[in-house]
């Protein structure tokens, strides 16, 4: 069990910011060999079928616990922002979330055991079972598809182009197959599998070279972006007493000269501020709206994250939303988007009323929690293509980031990763956001309180960026979009076909094992 834990922890190094994806070629084979030891032990008799299923699940849980503990420990940083109230929860958050997510890997190992064979087909059994459970992890209980194994291949831009064909879930299956093939080396003819894997990686890189060459970065005429990264301390962002200080800092930073010394704000058509920019409800503050209107040029707009409240007609109370406002030069809110995918325990509590009655509250300390917006939608933006809005966490869901009935011309992600400081978390978040641009063939603009703020073209090139943990402004043009790539139009069918092929291969190996004389 300790070996499984260490193998899982090793796999976490494949994720940002380390991006050491070759470690998977050690981690996955070790997992396969451990499963071999359960199903076909060398010395003791093999355990009964159901006992071996349980043993495989325990092995998978230890592997998953190592993977998620090593990859998600940084979440505990959020509980230190308001340490007086939440620090006592830190060990529970750091341990319980990985422990819970590890059950998906436990299910993956158990499912792999059902398809296990002594031949190399067991590589496919392991890969398809784990990939299926990674898909489930992205969907069950609102989903948490963070650090999917496929992201190990997405940091290298040429390999990342495969996201345009099969998305993050398909790339997860591919990564599991390719990096599991060293497990075949224990057999006499096993060298063929790793060699084939290297050939596939080379083919993927060649496709990436071709695709990047086909799509140089172009820019939308007449659109000049200014992205503001204030790097405000997290405890200041929800303190109404700091209203004036926060607003003054935003205004001063937005007026900062451009890199060439010119008046950057005067040339800006779209000023972008990050998620939850204000420690007050700006929509209910006419004075603040006037100040914001005076900030932007007559034909420019401000796009900013903000809390929003509306009266609940059912009970006369209020509903609160994590939103994005579009504010014009008159100080009028001319567009609005409400976040759809809320963060459990961060923006709402499961069984909210029950847990609140016991004295619990989510990290944002909004009584009653935030309400869910009506759905993903494309927002009209003056003097720019319509935009798909993604507030923070919403950008991590492959294939679920745009309104399929109204394709946008770009994606705008406003976020606040200051909860997690300068840790691996914000780098992992940025890697997943970048993957969405490639999957959808859309440029992506990102404004983060403490970074990473960036402009990304539709094939994943970083046009401009500000590093994590710094304060500044980022001036850039808006890249043009591409026609919808294969994943955006037929991705579900292609990924399903890949899963079925792997499943059939694993199933044939399992049937062959059962037909062999004992």
Q: What is the pLDDT of residue 347?
A: 75
- Does the pLDDT value for residue 353 go beyond 60? no
Mean pLDDT across 184-196: 86
Q: Which of 132-146, 180-194, 447-461 has the lowest mean pLDDT?
A: 180-194
The answer to whether the CB of 343 falls within 8 A of the CB of 420 is: no
- Which of 518, 506, 511 lies closest to 131 in space, CA to CA? 506
- Residue 100, both tokens: 């819970």
Read off the pLDDT of residues 425-483 as tens digits, 9 standing for 90 and up. Answer: 999 999 999 999 999 999 999 999 999 999 999 999 999 999 999 999 999 999 999 99
Instruction: Write the CB contacts of 483 (distance below 8 Å, at least 6 apart in sequence).
Output: 441
Q: What is the pLDDT of residue 206?
A: 98
Mean pLDDT of the chain: 91
* 389 three-class SS: strand
- Does the pLDDT value for residue 517 go beyond 50? no
Mean pLDDT across 211-225: 98
**The overall pTM is greater than 0.85:** yes
Mean pLDDT across 212-228: 98
- Does the pLDDT value for residue 398 go beyond 60? yes
Look at phi and psi of residue 381 and say left if phi exceeds 0, alpha if psi is from -120 to 50, else beta.
beta
Read off the pLDDT of residues 38-48 as tens digits, 9 standing for 90 and up. Answer: 877 755 666 77
Read off the pLDDT of residues 261-272 as tens digits, 9 standing for 90 and up. Answer: 999 999 999 999
* Active site residues per annotation: 275, 339, 392
Q: What is the pLDDT of residue 337?
A: 97
Mean pLDDT across 350-376: 65
Other C-beta atoms within 10 Å of 235: how many? 13
- Does the pLDDT value for residue 389 go beyond 70? yes
- Does the pLDDT value for residue 233 go beyond 90? no
- Does the pLDDT value for residue 61 go beyond 60? yes
What is the spatial distance between Cα 274 and Cα 268, in angstroms, rounded to a whole number?
Answer: 16
- Does the pLDDT value for residue 360 go beyond 90? no
Q: What is the pLDDT of residue 357?
A: 53
- Residue 320, both tokens: 């609160």
């Amino acid at each position: 069990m300790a070996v499984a834990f260490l193998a899982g922890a090793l796999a976490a190094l494949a994720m940002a910011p380390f991006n050491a994806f070759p470690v998977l070629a050690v981690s996955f084979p070790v997992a396969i060999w451990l499963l071999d030891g359960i199903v076909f032990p060398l010395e003791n008799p093999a355990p009964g079928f159901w006992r071996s299923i349980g043993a495989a699940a325990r092995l998978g849980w230890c592997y998953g616990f190592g993977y998620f503990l090593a990859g998600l420990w940084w979440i505990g940083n959020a509980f230190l922002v308001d340490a007086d109230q939440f620090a006592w929860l830190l060990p529970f958050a750091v341990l319980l979330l990985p422990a819970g997510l590890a059950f998906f890997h436990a299910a993956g190992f158990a499912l792999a055991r059902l398809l296990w064979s002594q031949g190399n087909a067991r590589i496919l059994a392991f890969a398809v079972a784990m990939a299926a459970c990674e898909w489930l992890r992205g969907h069950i209980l609102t989903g948490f598809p963070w650090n999917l194994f496929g992201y190990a291949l997405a940091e290298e831009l040429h390999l990342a182009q495969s996201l345009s064909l099969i998305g993050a879930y398909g790339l997860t299956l591919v990564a599991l197959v390719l990096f599991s093939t060293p497990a075949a080396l224990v057999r006499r003819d096993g060298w063929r599998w790793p060699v084939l894997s290297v050939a596939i990686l080379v083919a993927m890189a060649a496709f990436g070279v071709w695709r990047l060459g086909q799509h140089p970065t172009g820019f939308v005429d007449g659109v000049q972006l200014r992205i503001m990264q204030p790097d405000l301390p997290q405890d200041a962002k929800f303190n109404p007493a700091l209203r004036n200080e926060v607003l003054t800092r935003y205004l001063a930073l937005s007026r900062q000269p451009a890199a060439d010394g010119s008046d950057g704000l005067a040339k800006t058509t779209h000023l972008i501020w990050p998620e939850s920019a204000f420690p007050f409800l700006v929509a209910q503050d006419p004075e603040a709206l006037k100040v914001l209107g005076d900030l932007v040029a007559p034909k420019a707009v401000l796009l900013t994250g903000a809390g929003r409240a509306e009266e609940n007609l059912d009970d006369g109370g209020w509903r609160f939303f994590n939103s994005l406002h579009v504010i014009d030069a008159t100080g009028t809110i001319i567009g609005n988007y409400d976040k759809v995918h809320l963060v459990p325990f961060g923006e709402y509590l499961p069984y909210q009323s029950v847990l609140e009655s016991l004295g619990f509250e989510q990290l944002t300390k909004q009584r009653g929690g935030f309400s869910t917006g009506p759905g993903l939608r494309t927002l009209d933006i003056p003097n720019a293509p319509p935009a798909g809005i993604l507030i923070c966490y919403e950008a991590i869901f492959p294939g679920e980031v745009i309104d399929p009935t109204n394709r946008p011309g770009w994606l705008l992600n406003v976020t606040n990763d200051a909860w997690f400081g300068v840790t691996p978390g914000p780098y992992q978040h940025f890697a997943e956001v970048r993957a969405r641009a490639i999957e959808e063939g859309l440029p992506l603009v990102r404004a983060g309180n403490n970074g990473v703020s960036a402009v990304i073209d539709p094939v994943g090139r970083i046009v401009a960026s500000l590093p994590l943990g710094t304060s500044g402004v980022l001036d850039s043009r808006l890249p043009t979009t591409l026609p919808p790539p294969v994943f955006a139009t037929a991705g579900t069918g292609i990924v399903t076909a890949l899963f079925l092929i792997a499943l059939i291969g694993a199933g044939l190996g399992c049937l062959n094992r059962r037909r062999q004389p004992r």
